[in-house]
């Protein structure tokens, strides 16, 4: 087997048995990155030399009997996680020269457990987008192709598009992502892989470039549910450096993947049945529920009545927080500085921010500033916060009746560059099934369960109670076993 075809769990087993070394495994992935990245543009920065050094150090630790739980596993890191000494751009020109002097907690924990970093994965600028096309470092090509139109340039989804494409194309065994409104689950679905946004507070946000602090969560991508579970265990845990990280024990998520769903109650929210939803998505959803019923789960119709307000609520709360978080990029303390001769401080701010931020980021800053401004605060921001509480209480009521909720992950398969581009609101519709979990702080997992008529992957989403990722993993693993999704993208290492 080609080393890039291992699952993460399979690679760990092979490393433990001595069937492969971390250096060999990393070399194979570095070669895949070098071969594919010029086409896919999944990485903004590659760190091949550092990765090979880390792999050799990993082999030495293993030889000493000192192997961590991710010892020797090559990963892609979304370029939103600060990595000490390695440029971290957030997909923005304004951070184009930013080399953090410190490491994010999530990446520090992955390193502590022995992981090897291949480089920094491309993303939408400041994680704002659903196509990776807002990146100042160009878009990412989805490694999947339409049957009837293989030349169409499909997007990988966003904002963690580079992470998802890298894992799908076998350039990495896993990756980190962040999800504020769907940025792990939507690209996972578009790229035919698995990703989970854990409960808000499960992973530390320390050292992750902030977009919307009350919504942002880190999470893993991988090609199987179990692999995500293994990664999440290393990423999660309380961090004194992030006051919103939760002092909750981190369970053995991988063990939960083997739990039976027999007797579990699975909720089907009626409000997620959208008018005009493609029949293929409807069929995928029904199929998933049938599989769970066959595995002994009980399917229960539920109502989440405030769902229709979720997107407008998200697109007030997220830009509001973003406008405040992004105020720090002023040309003085971080990154880019654009200063004319004789310019005063105000000119410095204005020219730096005008030059440094792309169109979507500027749009969000303007919306956010508007909804927070005197006179509009009560009408928009405060109202949105109230609706957010109602959306969360819809879920609280549902947990009295069900143990997990299953929905489609996205309203469509991957679209092509240019499609959806004319209208930002159309782009925002991508998040219709995912933003609710962020607004309510709940864990959500996306996994591929079928293909559309063009041979493109389609995904389902599993939402669970706060801090009950174990049930989410159990349901996800049951769907994975039933779906037996074996399709692979046209562009991948070894193909």
Active site residues: 78, 159, 183
CB of 495 to ligand GLN, least distance (A): 29
**Which residue lies nearer to ligand GLN by CB, 130 or 245?**
130
**Which residue lies nearer to ligand GLN by CB, 79 or 431?**
431
**Which residue lies nearer to ligand GLN by CB, 4 or 134?**
134
For residues 483 and 450, what is the distance between their CA atoms, to the nearest angstrom?
Answer: 7
Q: How far is CA 132 from CA 6, 78, 278, 363, 438, in A?
A: 27, 12, 23, 16, 20
CB of 160 to ligand GLN, least distance (A): 8
User: Other CB atoms closer than 10 Å to residue 39's CB: what's the count?
Assistant: 11
252: left (phi over 0), alpha (psi -120 to 50) or beta: beta
Binders of ligand GLN among residues 348 to 377 (CB under 6 A) are none
128 binds ligand GLN (CB under 6 A): yes
461 binds ligand GLN (CB under 6 A): no
Binders of ligand GLN among residues 141 to 200 (CB under 6 A) are 158-159, 179-183
For residues 197 and 182, what is the distance between their CA atoms, to the nearest angstrom?
Answer: 8
**What's the CA dihedral at 104, 141, 445, 320 to 10 degrees?**
60
Q: Single out the residue of 23, 103, 239, 431 in contact with ligand GLN (rule: CB under 6 A).
A: 431
CB of 415 to ligand GLN, least distance (A): 13
Size of residue set near ligand GLN by CB under 6 A: 14
User: Other CB atoms closer than 10 Å to residue 401's CB: what's the count?
Assistant: 12
Closest to 92 measured CA to CA, from 327, 365, 361: 361
**In which order are the strands placed within the sheet that holds 116-121?**
43-46, 116-121, 74-78, 174-179, 217-222, 194-197, 444-451, 457-464, 404-408, 265-269, 298-302
**Which residue lies nearer to ligand GLN by CB, 159 or 412?**
159
DSSP state at residue 415: P
| SS3 assignment, position 12 | helix
Q: Single out the residue of 21, 107, 130, 176 in contact with ligand GLN (rule: CB under 6 A).
A: 130
**Which residue lies nearer to ligand GLN by CB, 158 or 288?**
158
CB of 168 to ligand GLN, least distance (A): 18
For residues 443 and 467, what is the distance between their CA atoms, to the nearest angstrom?
Answer: 7
CB of 4 to ligand GLN, least distance (A): 27
- Which residue is nearest to ligand GLN, using beta carbons? 183
318 binds ligand GLN (CB under 6 A): yes
For residues 461 and 459, what is the distance between their CA atoms, to the nearest angstrom?
Answer: 7
For residues 303 and 323, what is the distance between their CA atoms, to the nearest angstrom?
Answer: 33
Binders of ligand GLN among residues 207 to 266 (CB under 6 A) are 211
The token pair at 143 is 């490694």
**Which residue lies nearer to ligand GLN by CB, 179 or 468?**
179
310 binds ligand GLN (CB under 6 A): no
125 binds ligand GLN (CB under 6 A): no
Which positions touch ligand GLN (CB under 6 A)? 127-130, 158-159, 179-183, 211, 318, 431
């Amino acid at each position: 087997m080609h080393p890039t075809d291992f699952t993460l769990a399979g690679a760990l087993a092979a490393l433990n048995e001595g069937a492969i070394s971390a250096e060999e495994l990393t070399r194979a992935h570095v070669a895949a990155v070098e071969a594919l990245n010029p086409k896919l543009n999944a990485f903004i920065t590659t760190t091949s030399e550092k990765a090979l050094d880390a792999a050799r150090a990993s082999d030495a630790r293993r030889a000493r009997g000192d192997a961590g739980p991710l010892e020797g596993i090559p990963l892609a890191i979304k370029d939103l996680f600060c990595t000490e000494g390695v440029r971290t751009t957030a997909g923005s020109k304004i951070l184009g020269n930013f080399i953090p002097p410190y490491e994010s907690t999530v990446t520090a924990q992955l390193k502590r457990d022995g992981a090897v970093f291949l480089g920094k994965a491309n993303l939408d600028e400041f994680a704002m987008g659903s196509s990776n096309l807002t990146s100042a470092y160009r878009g990412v090509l989805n490694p999947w192709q339409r049957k009837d139109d293989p030349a169409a340039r499909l997007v990988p989804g966003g904002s963690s598009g580079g992470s998802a494409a890298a894992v799908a194309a076998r350039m990495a065994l896993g990756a980190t992502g962040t999800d504020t409104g769907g940025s792990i689950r939507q690209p996972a679905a578009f790229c035919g892989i698995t990703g989970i946004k854990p409960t808000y507070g499960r992973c530390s946000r320390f050292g992750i470039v902030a977009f919307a602090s009350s919504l942002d969560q880190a999470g893993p991508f991988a090609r199987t549910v179990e692999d995500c579970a293994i990664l999440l265990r290393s990423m999660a845990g309380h961090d004194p450096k992030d006051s919103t990280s939760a002092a909750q024990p981190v369970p053995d998520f991988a063990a939960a993947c083997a739990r039976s769903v027999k007797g579990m109650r699975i909720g089907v929210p009626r409000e997620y049945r959208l008018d005009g939803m493609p029949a293929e998505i409807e069929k995928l959803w029904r199929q998933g529920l049938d599989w769970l019923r066959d595995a002994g789960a009980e399917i229960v119709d539920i109502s989440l009545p405030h769902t229709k307000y979720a997107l407008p609520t998200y697109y007030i709360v997220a830009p509001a927080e973003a406008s405040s978080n992004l105020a720090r990029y002023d040309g003085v303390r971080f990154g880019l500085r654009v200063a004319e001769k004789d310019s005063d401080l105000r000119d410095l701010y204005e020219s730096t921010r005008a030059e440094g931020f792309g169109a979507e980021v500027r749009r969000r800053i303007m919306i956010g500033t508007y909804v927070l401004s005197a006179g509009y605060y009560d009408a928009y921001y405060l109202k949105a916060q109230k609706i957010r509480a109602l959306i969360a209480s819809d879920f609280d009521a549902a947990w009295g009746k069900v143990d997990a909720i299953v929905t489609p992950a996205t309203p469509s398969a991957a679209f092509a560059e240019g499609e959806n581009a004319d209208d930002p609101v159309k782009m925002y519709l991508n998040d219709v099934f995912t933003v609710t979990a962020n607004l309510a702080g709940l864990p959500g997992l996306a996994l591929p369960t079928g293909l559309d008529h063009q041979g493109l992957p389609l995904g389902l989403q599993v939402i669970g109670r706060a801090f009950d990722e174990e049930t989410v993993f159990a349901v996800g693993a049951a769907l994975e076993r039933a779906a037996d999704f074996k399709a692979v993208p046209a562009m991948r290492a070894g193909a």
